[in-house]
Amino acid sequence: MSEKHSFQAEIQQLLNIVIHSLYTDKEIFIRELVSNASDAIEKLRFLQASGTTVADPDTALKIGIETDDKAHRVIITDTGIGMTREELIENLGTIAHSGSKAFIQRLAQEKKPDVSLIGQFGVGFYSAFMAASKVTVESRSYHPDATGWKWTSDGSGGYEIEPAEGVVRGTRITLELKEDAKDFASEWRIEEVLKKYSTFVAFPVELNAKQINTKQAIWTRSKSDIKDEEYDEFYSYIAHDSDKPLFRLHFSADAPLSIHALLYVPKRNPEILGMARAESEVNLYCRKILIQAKAKDLFPEWLRFLRGAVDSEDLPLNISRESMQDSALLSKLNKVLTSRFIKFLDDQAEKHPDAFEAFYAEYQRYLKEGAAMDFTHRESLSKLLRFESSALEKGKTTTLVDYIMRMPSEQKDIYYLLAPSRESAQSSPYYEVFASRKYEVLFLSDPIDEFVMDNMREFDGKKLVSGEKADLKVENPASTEGALSTDDTSSLATWLKETLGTRVEDVRSSERLVDSPAVIVDKDKHLSASMRRMMKAMRPPGTPEPDQKMDLEFNPRHPVMIRLQQTRSTNASLAAEVAEQLLDNARVAAGVMDDPRQMIGRLNSLLAQVLNKN
């Protein structure tokens, strides 16, 4: 005897939307039903594991899908916990989850309801009615004395329930496909959908008796059970990469979120290989069911080189792309994962410096991008950065932490110089004051370093200051014998300004120089040498150099300046040529000499005069 039941009002409302929706992505019903099957088996496995007696205890845990393209039918079977009569009524006719009602209300108000959200709100089962005109659920609960029941509905009005003979433990769902969903009765179509969403379901998924999911969800397994080869195999499967990964991080956490994550760093930086901007290829799962492939907001941008899987039981199934974006849960997940990965890198740097170095060589740009842009993780990221330093031999690098440990107590800031090479930094006039004071200077040669330093601004409460802009004086300048007097210094400054005209903004004496006669300093204290070089590189050929507000600072203790002050009165034209040449030399040292050919003529004339003297 079958009994008729009505759906709860909200369910009927939902079904009306589902049945009449023009939503085209009907295939998600497969994902929802497979996900329910997997849940049911998961629950059974838990019961068995915790010692509960279940019916048919030796039945293999698996999900079966049969297609019948003649009858336009697809059948999904699982050997999970099944449902009693009461459970069928409770689970497939009323709303179990809070929030579902609100979801249905919202859907009802929308012009184009997004039915794909259905699984997120605990009503995924009803997606079956997108594809089926009639759904039959035959189920037998795991209780040893439970009997079989059959639930049928066409989605309109209600459902019928009757006892059923010959039902084994678990659930069997038969879908009579609608005209416009007949393609789901063909094996290849189902296979396509399964490959897309259910590859890593933890239990065998068999399509017409052939197992589809050969890859197990290794990220949820215990680390000690997994062989390196398995890890590598999974990596090559998900990353389409035949190389072994550079790093692998497999971890689980319970708080603040339940997370299983298996992350890989490819051996090669994918952006170097492909030129194009890499995209994160970490899949997001909830209990081994794919929620989103290549999940967009799971990691910050700078971690886009990661590959792997993240599984969180706290995520609602079928969370959609749109709701992903404003999901507080997702940003929490993002934060936890990112912090954990940074900690992993930190550990590597400490315990396996060689491996970290290899990683750093390949991926430093990403870390720097993060240090510059990702405020949340800036501090921990900046600890991972490495720089060459005046305190270390060539080729060795330091962290900012170690730099600070070496700082003399009176030094306030962290200094760096940007130069194409260590040698050119060391021979730069800007380095002199640091050498004289024995202050450590970081040598930065990556063009993006300056951008990074500008954005980081400080580290551990210490300002990051470009050596070109440092406000420092040489300590106890060596010999002041013959040095220009204050009067001579200021009259030389006035004369230099007159002589150099618009080529300089201002001329003054400097206390930062030891071996160089003069240096140029950016008036705006804004553009450093490397930035100027970059701007120069970006200027279209032929465009004149823009007005650069450069100040010339000179060293009143330097023999050239001392002699220049004397020569002004004895040989005005030679003095003028020397002044021009001093400025050009300073410009070369600063890396802003556009076309050195124009100064060759003057240099030759100066050489001739030197030789004539002898």
Q: Which residues make up the interface to Mg ion (CB under 5 A)?
A: 36, 124
Instruction: Please count the CA atoms within 13 angstroms of the CA of 402 that sit on its side-chain side.
Output: 15
Q: Which of 561, 557, 581, 531 is nearest to 436 (CA)?
A: 557
**How many residues in the shown chain lie near ligand ADP by CB under 6 A?**
18
Q: Assign residue 155 a region: left if phi > 0, alpha if psi is -120 to 50, beta otherwise?
A: left
- List the structure tokens of 226: 């997994």
Of Mg ion, ligand ADP, none, which one sits near residue 468, judging by CB under 5 to 8 A according to partner kind?
none
* Residue 4 to residues 56, 91, 93, 150, 353, Cα–Cα distance (Å): 30, 16, 12, 12, 70
Q: According to the binding rule CB under 6 A, does residue 125 interact with ligand ADP? A: yes
Shortest distance in whole angstroms from residue 195 CB to Mg ion: 20
Per-residue contact flags (x/-) with ligand ADP for residues 80 to 119, judged by CB under 6 A: xxxx-------xx---x-----------------------
Of ligand ADP, Mg ion, none, which one sits near residue 429, judging by CB under 5 to 8 A according to partner kind?
none
Q: According to the binding rule CB under 6 A, does residue 562 interact with ligand ADP? A: no
Q: According to the binding rule CB under 6 A, does residue 36 interact with ligand ADP? A: yes
Shortest distance in whole angstroms from residue 83 CB to ligand ADP: 5
- List the structure tokens of 166: 């010959």
442 Cβ neighbours under 8 A, 6+ residues apart: 387, 388, 389, 390, 398, 403, 414, 415, 416, 417
509 Cβ neighbours under 8 A, 6+ residues apart: 484, 489, 490, 493, 553, 554, 555, 556
Query: What is the four-CA torsion angle of 409, 414, 417, 421, rounded to 10 degrees?
Result: 80
Q: According to the binding rule CB under 6 A, does residue 158 interact with ligand ADP? A: no
Stretch binding ligand ADP (CB under 6 A), from 79-87, 105-113, 241-249, 254-262: 79-87
Of ligand ADP, Mg ion, none, which one sits near residue 40, judging by CB under 5 to 8 A according to partner kind?
ligand ADP
At which residue do the structure tokens 């100027």 appear? Answer: 532
Write the DSSP symbol of residue 376: G
For residues 139 and 283, which CB has a smaller minimum distance to ligand ADP in the complex?
Answer: 139
Of Mg ion, ligand ADP, none, which one sits near residue 123, judging by CB under 5 to 8 A according to partner kind?
ligand ADP
Of ligand ADP, Mg ion, none, which one sits near residue 81, judging by CB under 5 to 8 A according to partner kind?
ligand ADP
Of ligand ADP, Mg ion, none, which one sits near residue 80, judging by CB under 5 to 8 A according to partner kind?
ligand ADP
Of Mg ion, ligand ADP, none, which one sits near residue 553, judging by CB under 5 to 8 A according to partner kind?
none
For residues 125 and 459, which CB has a smaller minimum distance to Mg ion in the complex?
Answer: 125
Of Mg ion, ligand ADP, none, which one sits near residue 299, judging by CB under 5 to 8 A according to partner kind?
none
Of ligand ADP, Mg ion, none, which one sits near residue 589, judging by CB under 5 to 8 A according to partner kind?
none
Strand 458-459 relative to strand 506-509, pairing:
unpaired
- List the structure tokens of 572: 């005005």
Phi, psi of 15 (to 5 degrees): -60, -40
Residue nearest to Mg ion (CB): 124
Shortest distance in whole angstroms from residue 35 CB to Mg ion: 5
> From CA 164, how far away is CA 51, in angstroms rounded?
28
Write the DSSP symbol of residue 221: S
Q: According to the binding rule CB under 6 A, does residue 32 interact with ligand ADP? A: yes
In the set 11, 30, 40, 278, which binds ligand ADP (CB under 6 A)? 40
Q: According to the binding rule CB under 6 A, does residue 122 interact with ligand ADP? A: yes
Stretch binding ligand ADP (CB under 6 A), from 30-38, 216-224, 347-355, 431-439: 30-38
Q: According to the binding rule CB under 6 A, does residue 7 interact with ligand ADP? A: no
> From CA 19, how far away is CA 23, in angstroms rounded?
10
Stretch binding ligand ADP (CB under 6 A), from 35-43, 236-244, 440-448, 528-536: 35-43
On the 0-12 / 13-18 / 19+ scale of CB atoms within 10 A, 24 is exposed
Of Mg ion, ligand ADP, none, which one sits near residue 270, judging by CB under 5 to 8 A according to partner kind?
none
For residues 82 and 467, which CB has a smaller minimum distance to ligand ADP in the complex?
Answer: 82
Compute the 3-state secondary structure of the chain and give helix, strand, coil in percent, each to the nearest 5. Answer: 45, 20, 35
Instruction: Give the N- to C-terminal CA distance of the chain in Å, as an integer.
Output: 125
Q: According to the binding rule CB under 6 A, does residue 54 interact with ligand ADP? A: no
Residue numbers at the binding site for ligand ADP (CB under 6 A): 32, 36-37, 39-40, 78, 80-83, 91-92, 96, 122-125, 171
